[in-house]
Structure 1
């Protein structure tokens, strides 16, 4: 069932869809977001969440992994088929395999329960104010043979075939491509993609790199595009 926060919408406020099957937690999160000026809607199950994303057109979705109807992974995949909203996934499971699965399904960030509502609000704000450095560039990027990045259309192709990337994956690939062959540390990548105000575990970069490599068909052991710089970070091969 959908519900909207009781706070009035601020002009130009970002829309946030909170998808959480625990009504009390959903209400707490929604109230914290509304107090910060966001326009908030709540959904408590998978089918309602997808319908709400169609109708509400949120800028960001706070998405619990365990939901009735169908789970957060399926909600994420379905929303990704028609929306480029940021998706912040919530889960009580903190294993890296779960994070990889969530990010591969299209999530942009991942928060493990239990969490403080203020921390969650800060993560939401950090995602929404992320710099879009790639949108300021007009020159073609020096990418490796077989990899094409169109900054204006925000598309990626490998050997001519389109590759569907999330917001975060596209920004991550672009951040690497703007400095071809340069070894970027996790900190460098976080600043370029998430912004200097981002906080959290820097190993989220590794999780996104793994998801990105899978979509590009890139083998970490014998990389065609993205190479690991041991003890440092990552680099994209130049053309």
Structure 2
């Protein structure tokens, strides 16, 4: 089945050009030119991936990315002419999976989208690092060595492993952690992460795979 891509871009000619390129692949593009129309459309149509411009009429891309991350893990690639490092970091901390700077070639954008999608659809198994997850047994595996996880630990690690190197805030990690939607606080997340980190260190030969990013949250960093 073809993937659907939402292209949020107020430069209509550029949006149409990108749509034409994605039509040549296995993607079905939908175009939105105003930020105020994005959230409802995403909730209704659940696209496979979003190409999101930073500067938009109506709601801006940063706000949209942050809002989408409160209810969806859909891959988001942010597009902007602003190349300041702070903007880049902010975009990724708010949950973007990649960041593309203008000017760019449409072929490059298609390639970057495909790379992100391959990573997301890889069933959380990264052969080059020897890391994988077995959801049926709640087990993490590193180079053949296994560690049994609690249900909560597994869900946390799965969330991190879906997007290696992406920073997740504590609030994002809290989402869907418990089936009964109980309220948890930052200290609870930190406690689970501490136990999970120790288990991963034990099976990875001392590698600290979960990194704390001061003032931002946590990310999973796998060795090359």
TM over 0.5: yes
Query: Aligned pair in 2 of structure 1 residues 213, 128: CA closer, same or farther (>3 Å)?
Result: farther
Contact 1:135-1:151 at 8 Å conserved across structures: no
Partner Cα distance (1:42, 1:123) in 2: 18
- RMSD, aligned α-carbons: 3.5
1:121 aligned residue (64, 85, 110)? 110
Contact 2:54-2:80 at 8 Å conserved across structures: yes
Could you state the TM-score of these two structures normalised by the residue count of structure 2?
Answer: 0.64
Aligned counterpart, 2:204 = 179
Provide the secondary structure at the position in 2 that maps to 1:120: helix
For residue 153 of structure 1, report the CA deviation from its aligned partner. Answer: 8.0
Aligned pair count reads 172
For residue 162 of structure 1, report the CA deviation from its aligned partner. Answer: 7.6
Query: Aligned pair in 2 of structure 1 residues 180, 30: CA closer, same or farther (>3 Å)?
Result: farther
Could you state the TM-score of these two structures normalised by the residue count of structure 1?
Answer: 0.61
Partner Cα distance (1:161, 1:84) in 2: 19
For residue 43 of structure 1, report the CA deviation from its aligned partner. Answer: 0.5
Deviates more, 1:117-126 or 1:30-39: 30-39
1:157-183 residue CA offsets vs partner (Å, 9 max, x unmatched): 7641389xxxxxxxxx9xx86736337
Contact 1:94-1:112 at 8 Å conserved across structures: yes
Contact 1:43-1:52 at 8 Å conserved across structures: no
Contact 2:134-2:140 at 8 Å conserved across structures: no
**Unmatched segments (≥5 aa) in structure 1:** 1-11, 164-172, 185-208, 219-224, 227-232
For residues 88-99 of structure 1, the aligned pairs below 5 Å read: 88-99=77-88
Contact 1:14-1:59 at 8 Å conserved across structures: yes
**Unmatched segments (≥5 aa) in structure 2:** 126-131, 160-172, 175-185, 192-196
For residue 13 of structure 1, report the CA deviation from its aligned partner. Answer: 1.0
2:91 aligned residue (80, 99, 102)? 102
For residue 77 of structure 1, report the CA deviation from its aligned partner. Answer: 1.2
Aligned counterpart, 1:19 = 8
Contact 1:183-1:234 at 8 Å conserved across structures: no
Aligned counterpart, 2:153 = 149
Deviates more, 1:17-26 or 1:47-56: 47-56
Query: Aligned pair in 2 of structure 1 residues 22, 151: CA closer, same or farther (>3 Å)?
Result: same
Deviation >6 Å, runs of 4+: none
Q: Does 1:76 align with 2:80?
A: no
Aligned counterpart, 2:53 = 64
Aligned counterpart, 2:182 = none
